[in-house]
Chain A
């Protein structure tokens, strides 16, 4: 059962799942850390990202890199339009934001049902071949997805650690009021964080739609996973979300391959509950 070929396959699946989970969870935790909003509409934006990619790539036949970039930027721009209408009212209000953004989720998803209809679609693969690396057989499409996710994550990491705006964002994530007293314009930081976070969610949605299927309700699963991953890593902690995403992606890949998806869910949920009881602030969070 544990042959090297299967193991390699499981690892590839784990990498792919981790990439999607990390992309969604990073945005989720960024919004929570900086603005104290629990973005229950995160999955809806991932869904919009999936449909944007579908229309740009499969319908309008744009080249793939341009399509996925334009799709994600477009969805993030939509979020910026929604900022003064919805998000601005809920900054620094945790419970109100939870409920209000749940309303936003409902509005977006069912607008999606009206506009796109409920049936599932699929995005045609970019490359149909496979790559053979020793015992490992990998669809080229999967490798492309992992490459894109890795590039975006690397760019995010460089932005957060190497630029002044990244520094300002990390400062705001730690303590908004202190950051303000140091002359950081939090309105700009909020907009920037929202843009980056929704950009990553939309990108993850596009990738998810390409690997699995596209429907107005596809955002539920990424949202739930993001929620759990962020708990696992520690609410508001950016490295925590990355670590949690990787752990969760690999655990799911291993457990569901060898023991079935029910066992996988029971074990991962049980572990997270146990962790929360012993160490409620998560793996890399800080206790209050």
Chain B
């Protein structure tokens, strides 16, 4: 339905998004690819029990939650620069409920998700009426205000010094291996939830809404309500990332939740590709692992990293997901010539 509307309206349809919506023929292939990926993700720490790699792996899994949940918002046609601030709300809420209220960790994690979700529920209906660049700008300022609250509300948040000595989630998950598998499992749940939403009827409604809002509304999509729901859900997932992050690093301070971090999450989406869930995941691996493995030359690695972002954006405006589509085109072209 979505695609036909888009074609009728003469709107350029993103290739990747369409193929994901109508790609039933490749279902078996996709399932086996997912299975291989899952076996790899679970298996590599057993073959290569290196604490450094495990830490990087945990960081990638953590950031993947934020990037994938931001991807949900991006698929509704909004780019939020406040996402890291919501991660921060989740982190502070989780830490405070565990450390000051003495609640168990699981409840704290839910409190974190609940706190950032409710904040999104208050803000969402107001800001989601804005579109395009105006939404980007408003969320940029909102994120800064939330970060300033972390800095200024010293009795509760500890101000610029942050909060030290956060306990680990559970003795079992205090080893690098336990940590990795714990975060991986929750990340898989969160990303699975995103994938379910995107491949369901709701996901198609989101795509329709992004490409032609008024047409979608006429076709019966409750635009504002859907946008707010997705926004609240995505921010709630960001809160989960915050809670996990705080108990992984065991220390939080406001600098981890500023607009640079939000922009980082957007960069993960744009670098990877904005119209497919695989995009933010590829982007996360690239953005988290690349700097970690060039640790020896901190300044030089930033320079190289900056240049590689320029090159990726200049050569592949649709993100790294395009590499797949391009090679497919080249292969198809080669086959065509043989015939």
Chain A residues within CB distance 8 Å of chain B: 86, 89-90, 93-96, 99-111, 113-114, 224, 227-228, 231, 235, 262, 265-266, 269-270, 272-273, 276-277, 280-281
Contacts and interface: CB of A to CB of B under 8 A. Distances in A.
20 contacts: A94-B133, A96-B317, A99-B267, A99-B313, A100-B314, A102-B263, A103-B305, A106-B305, A106-B309, A107-B310, A108-B306, A110-B302, A113-B302, A114-B299, A262-B151, A262-B152, A269-B141, A273-B142, A277-B129, A280-B130
Contacts of B313: 89-90, 96, 99-100, 103
B148 A265 contact: yes
Nearest to B126: A277
Among B79, B263, B303, the one with the most A-chain Cβ atoms within 10 Å of its Cβ is B303
A276 B259 CA distance: 18
Contacts of B263: 102
A285 B127 CA distance: 19
B307 interface: yes
A268 B121 CA distance: 24
B137 interface: yes
A65 B137 CA distance: 37
Contact of A277 (B127, B307, B314): B127
Contacts of A277: 126-127, 129-130, 138
Given A96-B314, A110-B299, A114-B299, 14 more contacts: A86-B314, A90-B314, A95-B274, A100-B309, A101-B310, A102-B267, A103-B305, A107-B302, A114-B303, A262-B151, A265-B144, A266-B145, A270-B145, A276-B134
Among B145, B151, B274, the one with the most A-chain Cβ atoms within 10 Å of its Cβ is B145
A107 B79 CA distance: 24
Given A89-B313, A90-B314, A114 B306 contact: no
B141 A110 contact: no
B50 interface: no
B270 interface: yes
Interface of B: 79, 126-127, 129-130, 133-134, 137-138, 140-142, 144-145, 148, 151-152, 259, 263, 266-267, 270-271, 274, 299-300, 302-303, 305-310, 313-314, 317
A224 B271 CA distance: 23
A235 B133 contact: yes
B138 A100 contact: no
- The 5 A-B residue pairs whose C-beta atoms are closest, nearest first, are A103-B309, A107-B306, A106-B306, A89-B314, A100-B313
Q: Chain A's interface: helix, strand, loop or mixed, by majority?
A: helix
Nearest to A281: B134
Contacts of A89: 310, 313-314
Contacts of B79: 95
Contacts of A228: 141
B306 A99 contact: no
A34 to B, nearest CB: 16
A99 B79 CA distance: 13
Given A93-B317, A266-B145, A277-B127, A102 B303 contact: no
Contacts of A103: 305-310, 313
A279 to B, nearest CB: 10
Nearest to A88: B314
B301 to A, nearest CB: 8
Contacts, number: 102
B300 A99 contact: no
Given A231-B137, A269-B144, A99 B307 contact: no
B137 A106 contact: no
Contacts of B130: 276-277, 280
Contacts of B137: 227, 231, 235, 276
A96 to B, nearest CB: 5
A266 B148 contact: yes
A276 B148 CA distance: 20
Nearest to A271: B141
Contacts of B152: 262
Contacts of B267: 99, 102
A272 B127 CA distance: 13
A86 B317 CA distance: 13
Contacts of B145: 266, 269-270, 273
B243 to A, nearest CB: 27
B257 to A, nearest CB: 16
B141 A106 contact: no
Given A99-B266, A99-B270, A110 B303 contact: yes
A107 B301 CA distance: 9
A96 B270 contact: yes
A99 B133 contact: no
A48 to B, nearest CB: 14
Given A227-B140, A273-B142, A102 B133 contact: no
Contacts of A90: 313-314
A107 B303 contact: yes
Among A102, A113, A265, the one with the most B-chain Cβ atoms within 10 Å of its Cβ is A102
B251 to A, nearest CB: 22
Contacts of A262: 148, 151-152
Contacts of A105: 306
A281 B132 CA distance: 11
Contacts of B314: 86, 89-90, 96, 100
Contacts of A273: 138, 141-142, 145
Nearest to B79: A95
